[in-house]
Amino acid sequence: MADMIEKVFAIIEDRKANPKEGSYTNHLFDSGEDEIVKKVGEEAIEVIVAAKGQGDERLISEVADLTYHCLVLLASRGLSPADISQELERRYNQ
């Protein structure tokens, strides 16, 4: 899983550095942090709805969407999945 998250994050970072016409990722970056945060919130709600009755496949799909949008948010702030890993290590490797 971590390898795929790193791969997706690398694509997001590449879009940030090398915008591509028609890219949804670039649309988010161009729209600004408020729009990115709004999408994170929408996806979080969709995860909850999926968990409460739409089945496991839908839940997986929505968690994937939420993960992607969180990665875009991290990239927009100059952060990375490594920052999240460091925080988790701090919390759980005591």
Contact 43, 69 (CB under 8 A): yes
Contact 26, 19 (CB under 8 A): yes
Q: What is the CATH number of the domain that holds 35?
A: 1.10.287.1080
Report CA torsion sign: 8, 31, 88, 67: negative
Contact 25, 73 (CB under 8 A): no
Model confidence, pTM: 0.93
Q: What are the pLDDT digits (tens) for 24-68?
A: 999 999 999 999 999 999 999 999 999 999 999 999 999 999 999
Q: How many domains does the chain contain in total?
A: 1
pLDDT value, residue 20: 95
**Single-letter code of the amino acid located at 64:** A
pLDDT value, residue 2: 74
CA 6 vs. chain centroid, Å, equals 11
